[in-house]
């Protein structure tokens, strides 16, 4: 009897050991299996979801989401892009990077979906009434703060322009300079960077207008030429660029492409239109 009890006890011990071994399954994911691994996620604040009044009431300035810095896989843009045509602008990795010139244009009905008054960037008076895309608002606010810290008085004369508003602007130049002269001083409707909602025309008190050199004749213009890129803004039509850009020198016209892209553009030494070709998809 005692021998039988001993054998039964030994059998029970063996069964318990087997059950314990079966329960000790390795719970770590297999190599290459990421389905069970926690993924850290930090939500990115969207400027477009914020009302334009946030910065005006003193909320901290946050960097906006930057345009996609993806290079093209292949693109064959027109070599003779200074001819006046109305071809559809080639799609870009981000609409902010859209190539516009005398050949490539936006549709007449294109309107950015996130237009807000520049007052959201702390700009006052007439400057604050100009419309810009919300995606650039934080960078514009930071640049405006830098203007004030430097004792500068920069005026935003123009922001977003609709297709119709650009038609009226172009016609006004035709009346002043004739059609041929207007073509190099202003964009035909659809071809203006202002329709993207990411371009601004600037001025300063006492400056005489559109036939001087604002970039050299004023402290505000000189500051922009030196520092605008730090806030994501690039001069679209610099001095000596007409053969490439198809438009005459405009030291007051700046286009926002984001801080990372503006820094990369500065390093390349290319004119803006040449640089934007790399973002056509």
250 is catalytic: yes
Q: Which two tokens stand for residue 15?
A: 């069964």
67-to-92, 98, 138 alpha-carbon distances in Å: 10, 11, 14
Contact at 8 Å (CB) between 231 and 255?
A: no
Q: What is the DSSP letter of 115?
A: E
Q: Which of 53, 74, 250, 260 is catalytic?
A: 250
Environment class of residue 254 by beta-carbon count within 10 Å: exposed (0-12), middle (13-18) or buried (19+)? Answer: buried
Tokens 């405006």 locate to 144
Sign of CA dihedral 266, 272, 278, 281: positive
Identify the H or E element spanning 117: strand 115-117
Query: What contacts 192, CB < 8 A, 6 or more positions away?
Result: 100, 161, 166, 169, 186, 199
Element (H, E) at 240: none
Task: Using DSSP bridges, classify how beta strands 131-133 and 115-117 pair: parallel, antiparallel or unpaired.
Answer: antiparallel
CA atoms within 13 A on the CB side of 259: 13
**Annotated catalytic sites, by residue?**
250
């Amino acid at each position: 009897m005692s021998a039988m009890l001993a054998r039964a006890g030994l059998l029970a011990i063996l069964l318990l050991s087997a059950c314990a071994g079966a329960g000790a399954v390795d719970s770590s994911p297999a190599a290459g299996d990421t389905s069970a691994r926690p993924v850290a996620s930090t939500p990115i604040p969207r400027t477009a979801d914020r009302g334009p009044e946030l910065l005006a009431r003193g909320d901290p300035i946050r960097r906006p989401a930057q345009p996609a810095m993806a290079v093209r896989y292949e693109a064959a843009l027109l070599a003779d892009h200074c001819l006046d045509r109305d071809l559809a602008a080639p799609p870009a990795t981000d609409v902010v990077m859209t190539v516009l010139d005398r050949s490539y244009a936006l549709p007449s009905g294109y309107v950015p979906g996130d237009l807000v008054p520049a007052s959201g960037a702390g700009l006052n008076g007439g400057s604050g009434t100009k419309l810009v895309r919300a995606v650039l608002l934080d960078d514009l606010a930071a640049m405006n703060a830098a203007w004030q810290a430097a004792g500068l008085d920069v005026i935003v004369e123009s922001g977003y322009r609709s297709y119709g508003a650009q038609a009226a602007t172009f016609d006004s130049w035709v009346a002043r300079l004739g059609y041929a002269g207007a073509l190099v001083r202003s964009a035909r409707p659809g071809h203006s960077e202002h329709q993207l909602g990411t371009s601004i025309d600037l001025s300063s008190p006492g400056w005489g207008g559109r036939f001087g050199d604002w970039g050299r004749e004023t402290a505000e213009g000189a500051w922009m030429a030196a520092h605008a890129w730090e806030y994501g803004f690039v001069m679209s039509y610099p001095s000596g660029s007409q053969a490439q850009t198809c438009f005459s020198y405009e030291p007051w016209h700046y286009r926002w492409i984001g801080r990372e892209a503006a820094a990369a553009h500065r390093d390349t030494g290319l004119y803006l239109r040449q640089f934007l070709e790399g973002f056509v998809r």
